[in-house]
């Protein structure tokens, strides 16, 4: 299941319900992404006041659904969940949540990493940081392309 939403989410409630009732499940892994309070830019750290996430409604849901389908092709998952927020967030706020349930832990761990690595390079979201010295769009990182590439994804042309 995928959800793109402005409102916050409750990790406990999500974990309790996304795979409830399936007793073939032996392990659940999850990852939660948070807004950091520091932005290293040009070698100096700047304090983040807020972070605004913009996205491409329609394509976002389409890409997240494709990424989730790919994870379910690669690993025997009993259930999977991706939640990604948009709008203006503050340091400490939750941005993204992925959870995977499987009979064994390795599939659940690996599928979670895969979901995060692929959504970082494929899902059309952009972060605008408002810091004590002004606003700046977050730049894409080569390390994210490399993280996605380890799952057999070609690095992007940029």
Partner 1 sequence: MKILYFAWMRQRIGASNEDMDLPDSVNTVDGLVDWLIARGDGYAQAFAKREVIRAAVNQEYVQFDHAVTNGDEIAFFPPVTGG
Residues in contact with partner 1 by CB under 8 A are: 33, 53-56, 58-59, 62, 84, 95-96, 116, 119-128, 137-140, 144, 156-158
Is the four-CA dihedral 23, 25, 27, 28 of positive or negative sign?
Answer: negative
Residue with Cβ nearer partner 1 (13 or 157) = 157
Q: Are 82 and 22 in contact (CB under 8 A)?
A: no
CA angle 64, 72, 16 (to 5 degrees): 80
Least Cβ distance, residue 15 to partner 1 (angstroms): 19
Residue with Cβ nearer partner 1 (22 or 54) = 54
Q: Are 117 and 102 in contact (CB under 8 A)?
A: no
Least Cβ distance, residue 30 to partner 1 (angstroms): 14
Least Cβ distance, residue 60 to partner 1 (angstroms): 8
Q: And the tokens for 151?
A: 């799952």
Residue with Cβ nearer partner 1 (16 or 137) = 137
Least Cβ distance, residue 25 to partner 1 (angstroms): 25
The SS3 of residue 101 is strand
Residue with Cβ nearer partner 1 (48 or 123) = 123
Residue with Cβ nearer partner 1 (14 or 144) = 144
Q: And the tokens for 55?
A: 């996205």
Count CB-CB contacts under 10 A for residue 38: 11
Least Cβ distance, residue 32 to partner 1 (angstroms): 11
- Start-end of H helices in 28-125: 59-74, 105-122
């Amino acid at each position: 299941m995928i959800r793109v939403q402005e409102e916050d989410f409750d990790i406990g409630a999500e974990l309790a319900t996304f795979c409830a009732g399936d007793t073939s499940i032996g392990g659940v892994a999850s990852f939660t992404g948070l807004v950091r309070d520091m932005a290293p830019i040009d070698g100096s750290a700047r304090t983040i006041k807020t972070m605004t996430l913009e996205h491409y409604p329609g394509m976002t849901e389409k890409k997240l659904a494709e990424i989730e389908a790919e994870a379910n092709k690669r690993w025997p998952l009993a259930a999977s969940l991706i939640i990604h927020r948009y709008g203006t967030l503050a340091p400490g706020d939750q941005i993204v949540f992925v959870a995977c349930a499987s009979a064994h832990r390795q599939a659940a761990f690996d599928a979670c990493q895969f979901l995060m690595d692929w959504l970082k390079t494929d899902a059309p979201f952009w972060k605008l940081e408002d810091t004590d010295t002004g606003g700046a769009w977050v730049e894409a990182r080569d390390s994210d392309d490399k993280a996605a590439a380890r799952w057999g994804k070609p690095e992007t042309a940029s």
